[in-house]
Amino acid sequence: MEGLFRITGTKYFRCLRYLSEKHDNATMKLRMVLCSFSFFFLVRGKSCTHFVWETLNTQKATYVWIVEKQQKGKLKLCLKKVETMIRVMNEHGKQSFVRIWHDYSHS
């Protein structure tokens, strides 16, 4: 993935590289979203699992969904809900969602 990020000249290279290193490939293959070209990661924390949607070369934000680890079997259901939300956001806009904006002014 690192080669892809460098070839495209993306300004989010560091963030995407970090997420690709943390991605739990054993549980879910790395996914790409073609409309609003982006990547969808699964990152495991100590007490929660995080679905992270990161765009490649746009001014759009990073989106994070959190699932508690204790809830076995819920991960697949949450994945389907998150995929539906991404599809809705791509089709109808993202105004109703909370965003984390990237600030690369110090890079």
pLDDT in tens, 41-73: 999 988 889 999 887 766 666 888 888 876 667
Q: 3-7, 15-19, 64-68, 82-86: which has the minimum mean pLDDT?
A: 3-7
pTM of the model: 0.72
Q: Tokens 């765009």 — which residue?
A: 55
